[in-house]
Amino acid sequence: HCGLILADFGADVIRVDTVRGVRGDNITDGVPDPLSRSKRSLAVNLKSQKGRNIFRKLVSMADVLIDPYRPGTLEKLELSCNTLQKMNPRLIIARLTGYGQNGKYKRMAGHDINYLAMSGILSLMGPKGSPPTFPLNLLADFAGGSLTCALGILLALLERSRSGKGQVIDSSMVDGVAYLASFVTLRQNVWKMGPRGTNWLDGGAPFYNTYETKDGKFMAVGALEPKFYRIFLKKLNMFSPELMSRQYDNSSWSQMRQRLELIFKQRSQAEWQEIFDETDACVTPVLSPMDVMKHPHTKARGTYRRVYEPSPAPRLDRTPALKECKSSIIREVGEHSRQILSELGFSRSEIDCMIKDVVISAPW
């Protein structure tokens, strides 16, 4: 995803694959990786000396290397950061891992849920009296991981424009998601937060929650401030000075939530949209990705440029992201090997020999 962000905004991103050819990942073996769009695939056997020489030549011309492997993997291949930066002092090496380059867990396997758990943030998520709830694999893998890593790359590129020097980025998903949650963690003492599921933003408050509608869909309510809560109550025809005065009285929250649950089930999602649309009640429909394609607001903005394919964000007015992908997703590992090696100066006969010797793989 980190490479996808860079590719969407015009970078030439080359994915270095193994000659064994894993399409997608170990879970979806045989299925093309949707995050490979606009990238090219070079399949190289890095365990061979010739393969490592190809990699070194590629890196000597690169601006950035994204290393997604566990600490020590590059070093075992005789491709340490010091070695690579001696060849290319301007090279930025982004080492994206779950637990970081040092610490007790640095070589331990994990997934988003583990990194989220280790950040301290998973413990804050979920309803009262239930196990912690994780939001798919979005927070650690993508927000704290790839997006934070992309930010690190851009910061390093900005610094390089002044110093002319590259640097190594240690991008840990645990660190990234912990930093992402600064707003919550820095306010713990200020807010005097109670147990999970009893606070303003974790499902405890009736004015910041989701409610099922008559047709089995949902509405999201985020009327945090009194000025918005006032409008919310008026739109529900239940405004009273007493309810306003008890907005932040958590002893009244359970009863108020029950009242709202009954009220929202009286109308369909579409009917509630008619009531709340273009008001400051902070109430919106809970949309599926397919719904987003049809909703007037997101349709006007082009939030999705086609089914299940979000448009790149943010929107830059002078140098926007590419309107269309430079290329489709990678459907065969090594499908660009010949093209890339030709750009590196290898002849067709040399490339054919490398394929024969299993130094690289490429479609014939």
Helices marked H in 111-172: 112-118, 148-163
1, 25, 29, 111: which is the annotated catalytic residue? 111
Annotated catalytic residue 336? no
Q: Which of 17, 67, 141, 202 is catalytic?
A: 141
**pLDDT tens sequence for the chain (364 residues):** 999 999 999 999 999 999 964 344 433 456 778 888 889 999 999 999 999 999 999 999 999 999 999 999 999 999 999 999 999 999 999 999 999 999 999 999 999 999 999 999 999 999 999 999 999 999 999 999 999 999 999 999 999 999 999 999 999 999 999 999 999 888 877 777 889 999 999 999 999 999 999 999 999 999 999 999 999 999 999 999 999 999 999 999 999 999 999 999 999 999 999 999 999 999 999 999 999 999 999 999 999 988 888 999 999 999 999 877 666 788 788 999 999 999 999 999 999 999 999 999 988 6
Which pLDDT score is estimated for 20? 65
> Cβ distance 146 to 216 under 8 Å?
no
Which H/E stretch holds residue 339? helix 337-343
Judge whether 165 and 198 are in contact, CB under 8 Å. Answer: no
Q: Are strands 218-222 and 92-97 parallel, antiparallel or unpaired?
A: unpaired
Q: What's at 110, amino acid-wise?
A: G
Could you read off the pLDDT of 36-88 as tens digits, one per residue?
Answer: 888 999 999 999 999 999 999 999 999 999 999 999 999 999 999 999 999 99
In one letter, which amino acid is 173? Answer: M
219-231 per-residue burial string, b: 16 or more CB within 10 A, e: under 16: bebbbbeeebbbb
Question: Which whole-number Å values give the CA distances from 159 to 153, 163, 165, in the listed order?
Answer: 10, 6, 8
pLDDT at 23: 43
Residue type for position 23: R
Rounded Cα–Cα distance for residues 215 and 165 (Å): 59
Residue 356 token pair: 């024969």
148-163 helix and 173-180 helix, angle to the nearest 10 degrees: 100
Amino acid symbol at 332: E
Q: What confidence score (pLDDT) does residue 37 get?
A: 86
Q: Is the peptide bond before 314 cis (omega within 30 degrees of 0)?
A: yes
Q: Is 295 a catalytic residue?
A: no
CA-wise closest residue to 133 among 113, 152, 119: 113
Pairing of strands 39-44, 168-172: unpaired
